Amino acid sequence: MIDALPVVLNINGLKYEFEVLPYRSLLDVLRDELGLTGTKECCAVGECGACTVHFDGRSINACLMLAIEADGGSVTTIEGIAPPGEMTRVQDAFLEHGAVQCGFCIPGMVMSAEYLLARNPHPTEEETREGLSGNLCRCGGYNRMLQAISSVSEESTP
């Protein structure tokens, strides 16, 4: 059997040191080993965005990164973007505008929206569509998500 390898990760501001089998993805580790199940799994091939997290300031699909590749890096998951009991403006706007149906895609969608607004606080509609285009929502809430993101963008001072 293959040996587990040591990995150090900063996740949501906390340091985690653990050993992981080299073929396990960052998503597997978050969900199965650390119990951070807010990040979802659907396609496991980088096509649906349900597993979107922020890694060293970039938005990535956690299913496509091996945990050992992530060694030494810093990860923010849906659990880490707002203190417990609170919501970010994006999360609040998603609810206000009715962007949330079954909710399965939503953690990934929120992470993509946060990333988009962090880099570009006033995206055009075109840019927002582009920014969410890696996240599939079968409930079809895209229209509402665009409205939610635009409302957050309007609130923030240019």
Partner 1 sequence: MTASQIGSSTRRFGGYERVTGSQEFVADLRLDGMLFVKLVSIDCARARIVSVDTSAARGLAGVVAVVTSDDLPQPVPRFGPVYKDRPILAVGETKYHGEPVAAVVAESKEVAEVAASLVAIQFEELPAVFTVASALNPLSPLVQEPELRSAGTLASTNVLSEQVFGWGDLGATEADLVIENDYCFPMVTHFAIEPHGCMVVSSSGGFEVWSPVQHPYLLQAILADLFDLPLTRVRVVAPDPGGAFGGKQNPKFEPLLCFLARMTNRPVRLILTLEESFQATRRTSAEIHIRSGFSRDGLLCFQDIESNFLLGAYADIAGRVVSKSNYLGCGPYRTPVAKIRARALLSHTTPSCAFRGFGTPQVAWALESQMDAAARHLGIDGLQIRLMNLAAKGEDVVPGDVPADGEWAQSVQKAASAVGWGEPLEPNHGRGIAVGIKSGATTGLSYSTIRLLFDGSVTIYAGTSDMGQGARTIFAQIVSDELGVPIEQIDVVMGDTSVVPFDLQTSASRSTVFMGNAILDACRDIQLQVRELAAELHGTALENVRIVAGGVFISEVKVSIPEVVQASLGRLRGELIGNGTMRRTDIANHPLGGRPAFFEFNCTAFEVGVDVETGEVSVIKHVSVGDTGKSLNPLQVEMQDEGAAIMGLGHTMMEHVILDESGRIANLGALDYRIPTSKDLPLSLSTYSIENADGPGPYGSKGVSEGAILCTAPAFASAVTEATGVVIRNLPLTPERVWRAIRDGASDSSTVEQV
Our finding on whether 132 is near ligand FES (CB under 6 A) is no
From the list partner 1, ligand FES, none, which binds 118 (C-beta under 5 to 8 Å, kind-based)? none
Should residue 78 be labelled a site residue for partner 1 when binding is judged by CB under 8 A?
Answer: yes
19 near partner 1, rule: CB under 8 A: no
**Which amino acid is located at 62 in the chain?**
A
Q: Is 65 one of the binding residues for partner 1 (CB under 8 A)?
A: no
**Which letter, b or e, does each residue of 9-20 get, where b requires 16 or more Cβ atoms within 10 Å of its Cβ?**
bebeeeebeeeb
The residue type found at 47 is E
CA dihedral 131, 136, 141, 146 (to 10 degrees): 0
CA distances from 74 to 11, 44, 125 (A): 6, 21, 30
Check residue 45 for interaction with partner 1 (CB under 8 A): yes
Q: What are the residues binding partner 1 (CB under 8 A)?
A: 1, 21, 23-24, 31-32, 35, 37-45, 47-48, 50, 77-79, 82, 87, 91-92, 94-96, 98, 100-107, 110, 128-130, 132-146
